[in-house]
Amino acid sequence: MTVRARKRREIAILATLSSLIFIFILMPIAILFVISFTSGDTMAFPPPGWSLRWYHMTFDMFMGRQQTGMVGNFSGSDRFLESLTTSIRIAFTTMVLTILIAIPAAYALVRYEFRGKGVVEQVISFPTVYPLVVLGISFLILSSLAGFTGGFWRIVFAHIVITVSFVVRNCVASLRGVSRSFEEGAATLGAGPVRAFVEIVLPPIRSGLAAGMLLAFILSFNEFTASFFLYSSSTLPFSMWMYTQASNDLNPVIFALSTVFIVLNILLILLVERISGRDGPSV
């Protein structure tokens, strides 16, 4: 066997294995997508027929219309908009606070050398490998000891810990593309550190910051594991509402809702990649 033939065979084997793994990963999402178009009242697969009835009901839920014609009277649909609004508020608050923490942290890591810098970098990266179940339990115990019972801020603080490492890495990648000589030149012209950062450093990295903000919003909105331990009856995130409905009354409308939000998440991720691609850093 020639070298070229062996390489073609290796490439074919690798492509086959990669395709099988890719199909295996996407299969649950594909099944969810197919069932969301079922004309039946159960999750039978393959569907007995095709219909958009569940998407019509999903649209009605977005419009705040009471759902009484569903199978088993889809319980809890009255809290759909409330939970969705709660998750958006949590994600937006997390996004703002995370970016306010990530910018100075990334700036210090890129521009300065200090004792323990490597330790700080490792600590910031901990949430990416730390089990979210343990993180959620830890936050629950900490908030209980501190007498902090507000579900909204408990979830926000947990989401900040989860998202800050991703946003810091994105900001670091953006800042490394801006030479320190630009700030030094601004300083020689009389600009103070804050003005030099705002007028010289911030404009070139704004795409990276925007990508980091979107990434924080996506991660916070979709976070379930930590939120499971921290939510309350008055603060019910959308992910917890979905879990409750799937546990109590697994209705095909859940599959339609899931499909809608999967598509929205894909569009947001593509937007993050498009924005971050302008400055070169990889999210």
pLDDT digits (tens, 9 = 90+) for 138-178: 888 888 887 777 678 888 988 998 888 888 888 888 888 77
Question: Do residue 112 and residue 162 come from a single domain?
Answer: yes
Which helix (H) or strand (E) segment holds residue 209: the answer is helix 202-222
- What is the Cα–Cα distance from 122 to 92, expressed in whole angstroms? 26
Are 250 and 75 within 8 A, CB to CB?
A: no
The pTM (predicted TM-score) of the whole model is 0.81
- Please say which residue of 31, 62, 93 terminates a domain: 62
**pLDDT score, position 276:** 63
Mean pLDDT of 35-48: 78
Cα–Cα distance list, 98 to 2, 118, 130, 197, 219 (Å): 55, 21, 18, 19, 12
Judge whether 282 lies within some domain: no
**pLDDT score, position 280:** 46
Domain that includes residue 37, residue range: 3-62
CATH number, position 178: 1.10.3720.10
**pLDDT score, position 78:** 67
Identify the burial level of 241 via C-beta atoms within 10 angstroms of its C-beta, where 0-12 means exposed, 13-18 middle and 19 or more buried. Answer: buried
Question: Do residue 109 and residue 21 come from a single domain?
Answer: no
Higher pLDDT, 217 or 275: 217
Are 186 and 177 within 8 A, CB to CB?
A: no
Question: Do residue 25 and residue 92 come from a single domain?
Answer: no
Question: Do residue 90 and residue 224 come from a single domain?
Answer: yes
**pLDDT score, position 213:** 85
- What is the Cα–Cα distance from 267 to 236, expressed in whole angstroms? 25
Judge whether 69 lies within some domain: no
- Report the half-sphere exposure of 41 (CA within 13 A, side-chain side): 6
- What is the Cα–Cα distance from 181 to 175, expressed in whole angstroms? 13
**pLDDT score, position 69:** 46
Question: Do residue 229 and residue 160 come from a single domain?
Answer: yes
Judge whether 13 lies within some domain: yes
pLDDT digits (tens, 9 = 90+) for 72-126: 445 556 678 888 889 999 999 999 999 999 888 888 888 877 787 778 877 777 7
Rounded to the nearest integer, the mean pLDDT of the chain is 80
Structure tokens at 15: 């492509």
Closest CA relative to residue 74, chosen from 51, 91, 56, 90: 56
Question: Do residue 163 and residue 207 come from a single domain?
Answer: yes
Residue 5 has pLDDT above 60, yes or no: yes
**pLDDT score, position 92:** 93
Residue 67's φ and ψ, nearest 5 degrees, are: -95, 100
pLDDT band for position 71 (cuts 50, 70, 90): very low
Question: Do residue 11 and residue 93 come from a single domain?
Answer: no
pLDDT band for position 179 (cuts 50, 70, 90): confident
Are 185 and 199 within 8 A, CB to CB?
A: no
Structural domains of the chain, count = 2
Mean pLDDT of 221-242: 85
Question: Do residue 29 and residue 122 come from a single domain?
Answer: no
Lowest mean pLDDT among 6-10, 26-30, 49-53, 67-71: 67-71
Question: Do residue 10 and residue 121 come from a single domain?
Answer: no
- What is the Cα–Cα distance from 59 to 185, expressed in whole angstroms? 55
Cα–Cα distance list, 176 to 101, 104, 106, 107, 109 (Å): 18, 14, 10, 9, 10
Judge whether 67 lies within some domain: no
Mean pLDDT of 122-138: 80
**pLDDT score, position 65:** 64
Judge whether 283 lies within some domain: no
Judge whether 149 lies within some domain: yes
